[in-house]
Copies of this chain bind each other. A is one copy, B any other.
């Protein structure tokens, strides 16, 4: 709510009380009439109230009245039947365009009426609308839809059938700010059309943005408006006017679920993720059992808090005193890890509730994912009633390394670091663990979300936002239960820490698989694409990217500008790295003369001038050192991409150590810039890449793409967070 108010403030689109009352009156009348859409005159009233420009018009009840109206507003005009019973006016022959004389208008009135009667004999006719005919300018569409997960969205695209074929439309969460609206004008493939092509006039961007903001405000103010179309809007050099308005209402819309306050979420998540005491419900002394693995991971992982095994009979498990029930434990318990059959979960959860345990980590499967939604509904109700937050069910558990906490049945993981990862799927969770171990990626947390019966991505965002051990948040998800809440949390959190999301089920085939897997509704990927970007989220395109971004992004310092320089020993790598620069939305710096000359003093006379700086292949370590030092030293340069070529003169580890030396030397002098490296050479480059990575320079062997993708992710985040 605060967010919405803020946006309204920013957008300057606040519709005063009178405007609100006017629209409310129209909507109430539509509801009273049992209709679900507005007539054109009603649409005009709504547009007028919100300051959305529409053509001059009036409703005539006789041919003479039509001629009078037309003369007043100026010819040519458009005439349209006004009837609550005729929604598709064109189909009904109820629209005439380009009427150029009084005579044509007079005849037109009779024609429209006759056609309407012919189309539907018993249609109630309210008259014939006479409308100023717009012409010229660029035809665009502004609209709004209601999405199951994200709620109200405003849409923008060019008009015309070709655009429909190309699906060249862009979306933003409503209400949209003026900046959002401006970004929509640049967010379509055919954006150039708005700038005036072949000598044509550009469209008035301010006027278009204004309409977008107002439409987004209107649908936000009136949740009943499920769909809205201004199609076409004619945008000229001086203004923009909506030639046709279509508004559809849905009075049955479900209100958004009540959300917890951020403070409440954070308080509970802090106790669950950093517990002072953990109970293991279903702890087992028997090796091979999941309840045994969980105990061992807690103990061997080095967790320093209390561990309470809960077991109906045992007195002791793995050296820890066992209890029959959490109620028998004297002290406070923060987290209860469940590993008991699904059918016993509800009962045990009630006991946890009575014990006032704030969080249950539900490893068991056998709920919604296995055809038992009723079991899941039951535990969700219990969780709500007793205020126990539920993680899962159907998960591997979670890791929180700063507390040495492995609340999971998977293998322990102990490389501490600053990346917090989560996955909706257990398989992807295992891939996260394997990759992390293999790549020596330091993590703060790995969390399984599984069926997301309660705790979901936005709860994790709230926790990691204030978790000082986390610098980057990387999430795999298939659906977002409440996309609106996620987007709002991500927008806030991504201002402070990079949020990276791999949205699975992007494609329709993927979405089908997602649906069969979790019962989640397939999202329209274009909506996800636009809203995630609007929320400052960096979107990973593949599992490997999610993992590489989680690994590399927190290591890189935030760049201070867009000037990127490639320094390469292999000209061929320089070309491929340049391709990657463009592919990742980055740009190579154009050298001022002095900088070009400065680089040239270090490289052989036949080395190519400009950026990439091609130091040529046979050069000694000194050449890499001099050029990279210059690149770090000069404040006009903001990031470096290194292309190393393995030669006898400069072997891989010599290169790697020297680069780290220069990097650290310059960092000590306050010249802290993102540096990434691509290493071309024999297998020794793998060791060199590891060394560089461990010392703050994300580096990859045999790839000219990955290092630039990681740098690109850092830039995307920095731009989204307003730091560039």
Q: Which A residues lie at the B interface, using CB under 8 A? A: 158, 160-166, 189-190, 192-193, 197-198, 200, 288, 365, 369-371, 410-411, 423-428, 430-431, 433-435, 437-438, 476, 478, 502, 504-510, 512-514, 516-518, 542-544, 547, 566, 568-583, 587-588, 604-606, 608-610, 612, 614, 617-618, 643, 645-646, 648, 680-686, 701-706
Q: Which residues of B lie under 8 Å from residue A682 when comparing CB positions?
A: 410-411, 430, 433-434, 437
Minimum-distance CB pairs A-B, first 7:
A425-B572, A427-B570, A510-B579, A507-B582, A431-B680, A517-B571, A370-B606
**Looking at the complex, which one of B371, B434, B685, B706 makes contact with A434 (CB distance below 8 Å)?**
B685
Given A370-B606, A426-B572, A517-B608: 11 more A-B contacts, CB < 8 Å: A158-B162, A161-B198, A365-B618, A427-B571, A431-B573, A434-B685, A434-B701, A505-B575, A508-B582, A516-B612, A517-B575
20 CB contacts below 8 A, A to B, read: A158-B162, A161-B193, A162-B162, A166-B166, A166-B189, A288-B648, A365-B618, A425-B570, A434-B682, A438-B686, A504-B576, A505-B575, A507-B582, A510-B582, A513-B566, A516-B610, A516-B614, A543-B576, A543-B703, A543-B705
Closest-CB distance, A33 to chain B (whole angstroms) = 31
A575 touches B617 (CB 8 A): no
Report how far A544 CA is from B542 CA in the complex, Å: 15
Q: Which residues of B lie under 8 Å from residue A166 when comparing CB positions?
A: 166, 189-190
Report how far A166 CA is from B417 CA in the complex, Å: 45
Report how far A411 CA is from B651 CA in the complex, Å: 13
**Looking at the complex, which one of B438, B478, B573, B583 makes contact with A702 (CB distance below 8 Å)?**
B438
**Looking at the complex, which one of B428, B588, B604 makes contact with A509 (CB distance below 8 Å)?**
B588
Given contacts A410-B682, A438-B683, A705-B543, contact A426 B570 (CB under 8 A): yes
Given contacts A165-B190, A198-B161, A513-B578, contact A543 B702 (CB under 8 A): yes
Q: Which residues of B lie under 8 Å from residue A478 when comparing CB positions?
A: 572, 575
Report how far A524 CA is from B510 CA in the complex, Å: 33
A582 touches B509 (CB 8 A): yes
Report how far A649 CA is from B283 CA in the complex, Å: 20
The listed residue with most B CB atoms (<10 A of its CB), out of A425, A512, A578, A646, is A578
B165 touches A617 (CB 8 A): no
Report how far A610 CA is from B570 CA in the complex, Å: 49
Q: Which residues of B lie under 8 Å from residue A570 when comparing CB positions?
A: 425-428, 430
A427 touches B371 (CB 8 A): no
Closest-CB distance, A23 to chain B (whole angstroms) = 32
Q: Which residues of B lie under 8 Å from residue A643 when comparing CB positions?
A: 427
Complex: chain B residue closest to A543, CB-CB: B704
**Looking at the complex, which one of B165, B587, B706 makes contact with A193 (CB distance below 8 Å)?**
B165
Report how far A190 CA is from B167 CA in the complex, Å: 10
B428 touches A572 (CB 8 A): yes
Given contacts A478-B575, A510-B578, contact A542 B705 (CB under 8 A): yes
Report how far A5 CA is from B222 CA in the complex, Å: 69
Report how far A343 CA is from B433 CA in the complex, Å: 57
Closest-CB distance, A342 to chain B (whole angstroms) = 11
Closest-CB distance, A710 to chain B (whole angstroms) = 14
B428 touches A576 (CB 8 A): yes
Given contacts A581-B509, A702-B434, contact A517 B427 (CB under 8 A): no
Complex: chain B residue closest to A505, CB-CB: B575
B476 touches A165 (CB 8 A): no
Q: Which residues of B lie under 8 Å from residue A476 when comparing CB positions?
A: 572
Report how far A462 CA is from B445 CA in the complex, Å: 55
**Looking at the complex, which one of B193, B370, B702 makes contact with A162 (CB distance below 8 Å)?**
B193
Q: Which residues of B lie under 8 Å from residue A370 when comparing CB positions?
A: 604, 606
